[in-house]
Amino acid sequence: MSTASRPYPIVQDLIESFANWLKHRRELNEMRQLDRADFDRIASDLRIAPDDLEELVRHGRHAADELPKMLDQLGISAEQLGRTQPLLLRDMERVCALCGHKSQCDRDLADGTAAENYQGYCGNASTLESLDRDATTTH
């Protein structure tokens, strides 16, 4: 629905944001209700450290939204990478989600300068450099 067809777009956006926040709070509450053994088993099934899983849940589902944008600016197809190296992509998403340099990354992505600057702050920099560009290039 476009903003032109919504009678109160700002109010609707606020309501959606609040609803998303409530949903995230419920998810956190559900996670806290798991006993430690169940939580550790889920982390093991996902092949991730329990502390990382806990942190990822706290950050929410949009914590790695920068990664596809970064890949795009580097000319790497996230879709192709997901097909050829799904575990690598998942690990890159984990690193991105736990990153402490979101504001710098978001600025560079918005300015279109991420490809020149990411090596200085991106936790995925060495992985991005090692990717076979021919196998993952966008066409």
Tell me: the pLDDT tens digits for 21-73? 777 777 777 777 778 888 888 888 878 888 888 877 777 778 899 999 999 99
**pLDDT value, residue 69:** 96
Shared-domain flag, residues 13 and 45: yes
One-letter amino acid of 114: A
User: What would the two tokens of residue 17 be?
Assistant: 């944001």
Tell me: the pLDDT tens digits for 78-105? 999 999 999 899 899 989 998 999 999 9
Whole domain around residue 16: which residue ranges? 9-59
pLDDT bucket at 5, cuts 50 / 70 / 90: low
Shared-domain flag, residues 21 and 73: no
The whole-model pTM stands at 0.65
Tell me: the pLDDT tens digits for 23-33? 777 777 777 77
CA angle 33/96/115 to nearest 5° reads: 165
Is residue 2 assigned to a domain?
no
Is residue 46 assigned to a domain?
yes
User: What would the two tokens of residue 78 be?
Assistant: 């996230």
**pLDDT value, residue 120:** 95
What average pLDDT is seen over the chain? 84
DSSP H helical ranges for 1-139: 9-33, 36-45, 50-59, 66-73, 78-84, 86-97, 102-111, 114-117, 125-130, 133-136
Shared-domain flag, residues 16 and 40: yes
Is residue 47 assigned to a domain?
yes
